[in-house]
Amino acid sequence: MAKVSPGEFVNQVQTEAKKIVWPTGRETIMTGVMVVIMTSLLGLFFFGIDTFFGAVVQWLLSIAAGQA
């Protein structure tokens, strides 16, 4: 790896920083809204799956307790 002087390093960092393209405010808000929607949908989905499997386990346990 080549050694770079501190001044050259700062110049390289500034050059790379100028290449950054930041999202607009609208893009940021739309992305945030999509994140909230997707996490809500996934939360509801996993809540439903957990409830279903919890009911199945309770049903199986009640069957097992009845046969003991």
Cβ 65 vs Cβ 57: under 8 Å: no
**What's the token pair of residue 66?**
């009845």
Contact 12, 4 (CB under 8 A): yes
Alpha-carbon gap, residue 54 to 41, rounded angstroms: 20
Which residue ranges make up each domain of the chain? 23-67
Q: Which two tokens stand for residue 64?
A: 């097992």
Q: Looking up tokens 């997707």, which residue turns up?
A: 38
For the entire predicted model, the pTM comes to 0.64
What pLDDT, on a 0 to 100 scale, did the predictor assign at position 68? Answer: 54
Residues 16-51: tens digit of each pLDDT: 999 999 999 999 999 999 999 999 999 999 999 999
